[in-house]
Amino acid sequence: MWKDVTETDWNNWKWQVKNRVCSLAELSRVLKLTPEEEGGIRREEDRLPMAVTPYFLSLIDPENPECPLRRQVIPRIEEHFLCSRDLEDPCGEEGDTPVPRLVHRYPDRVLVIATDACVSYCRYCTRKRIVGKRPQSIDREQLEKVCDYISGNKRIRDVLVSGGDPLSLCDEKIETILKALRSIRHVEIIRIGTRMPVFLPQRITPALVEMLRKYHPLYASIHFSHPREITPETTRACEMLADGGIPLGSQTVLLRGINDNASTIKKLLQELMMIRVRPYYLYQCDLAVGTEHFRTPISTGINIMEKLRGHTSGYAVPTFVVDSPGGGGKIPLSPSYFIALIEGKAVLRNYEGKIFEYPEPVDSKKIRVKLRREEAPEGAPSLLVT
């Protein structure tokens, strides 16, 4: 389909955005679609729009309907199967929205929904009630109200700019948002949530990085799902951001049939470390409408964590969380390494399942303190506990 495109066009992010595949007719010229996919694409009403960048489409296996990249962006008929457990607002964000486009759930940090658009749409989007609906971005008046709210809440020291994908905005607009947030004295750190290095790595340009680095300390959380997303283009994009001094973290949603096994996740995490992305969160899939076919049982995530801790670099181990329905926020889950507390000893198990004991400090009233000056090294405190 893009045989005649020049390399300059292909590497131009605006060309990529303009040439996204958004219709059944276009898509069927590139992929051999299954009836389930055709059905999912045809029924447009009430679904998240479909859009795939030519770059991301080029990574998809045209023959394999189970291709893990394909399943993330091509609708299937299952998307229209509603189940009673589905929720319009799966993490209860609306209830924590004091001003439009701002979610204030935790004491010291807020989330800003900078835009409702993305360059490609993940079928399991947790914010599909907003995202892609009428893609708009924060306007001047809304930004002012968001900043007024943050200015009036001195406890807010961390602002997470997300969406949609904030890097789908033009450099000028992103800068307007960052500048406004930076001008608030008590905002210590700013974070950007994005999937651009995966869907459109060409978006990470030298000009963008030069602009971003003026707003340090700035962090970025990048959404990755599968090791096959780590291409030379993605590597370059992450390297540019990291070279711009932006610490990079990853966020991954566990998805049935896509990445829900320990070997795929471990490969992803280790490869992320190679491109200087530090694994941050592994998410249980939220209860967004029409996503039940993507969800795994909680035990899948816990079992994957069991196969990570101790088996790979601690740096490569993310935190597995459930963003709880009803607005409870992120709840970490992990295998239990604590077995019991018996007679002042903590009974623990390690990653191999071996049992160890850690004697806790004896009750302070019973601690016998004795002067043993002769045993203390030069300059050390002279009180030793026996």
State the catalytic residues.
105-106, 109, 118, 122, 125, 127, 286, 323, 330
Backbone angles phi, psi at 82, to 5 degrees: -90, 145
Q: How far apart are CA 369 and CA 379, in angstroms?
A: 18
Q: How far apart are CA 164 and CA 291, in angstroms?
A: 18
Q: Which two tokens stand for residue 8?
A: 């300059």
User: 159 or 178: whose CB is closer to ligand PLP?
Assistant: 159
For the bound state, the minimum distance from the C-beta of residue 103 to ligand PLP, rounded and expressed in Å, comes to 4
Q: Residue 212 CA to chain centroid, in angstroms? A: 19
For the bound state, the minimum distance from the C-beta of residue 193 to ligand PLP, rounded and expressed in Å, comes to 9
Interface mask (CB under 6 A) for ligand PLP, residues 11-40, using x and -? ------------------------------
Which residues in the 322-361 window bind ligand PLP by CB under 6 A?
330
Which residues in the 132-171 window bind ligand PLP by CB under 6 A?
160
Our finding on whether 190 is near ligand PLP (CB under 6 A) is: no
Our finding on whether 127 is near ligand PLP (CB under 6 A) is: no
- Which listed residue (51, 69, 111, 269) binds ligand PLP by CB under 6 A? 111
Our finding on whether 101 is near ligand PLP (CB under 6 A) is: no
Q: At 249, which helix (H) or strand (E)?
A: strand 248-253
Q: How many residues does the chain have?
A: 386
User: 10 or 219: whose CB is closer to ligand PLP?
Assistant: 219
- The answer to whether the beta carbons of residues 257 and 251 sit under 8 Å apart is no
User: 160 or 169: whose CB is closer to ligand PLP?
Assistant: 160
Q: Which two tokens stand for residue 146?
A: 């968001």
- Which listed residue (103, 147, 159, 282) binds ligand PLP by CB under 6 A? 103
Residue 42 vs residues 33, 73, 133: alpha-carbon distances, Å: 12, 15, 17
Our finding on whether 173 is near ligand PLP (CB under 6 A) is: no
- The answer to whether the beta carbons of residues 121 and 48 sit under 8 Å apart is yes
Ramachandran sector of residue 192 (left: φ over 0; alpha: ψ -120 to 50; beta: rest): beta
Q: Which two tokens stand for residue 358?
A: 């850690």
Q: Which two tokens stand for residue 176?
A: 């307007």
Our finding on whether 129 is near ligand PLP (CB under 6 A) is: no
Our finding on whether 278 is near ligand PLP (CB under 6 A) is: no
Our finding on whether 105 is near ligand PLP (CB under 6 A) is: yes
Match 């967004």 to its residue by tokens: 288
Match 């969800």 to its residue by tokens: 295
User: 95 or 344: whose CB is closer to ligand PLP?
Assistant: 95
Q: Which stretch binds ligand PLP (CB under 6 A): 102-110, 132-140, 238-246, 286-294?
A: 102-110
Q: Which stretch binds ligand PLP (CB under 6 A): 2-10, 74-82, 104-112, 182-190?
A: 104-112
Which one-letter DSSP state was computed for residue 205?
-
The residues binding ligand PLP (CB under 6 A) are 103, 105-106, 109, 111, 160, 330
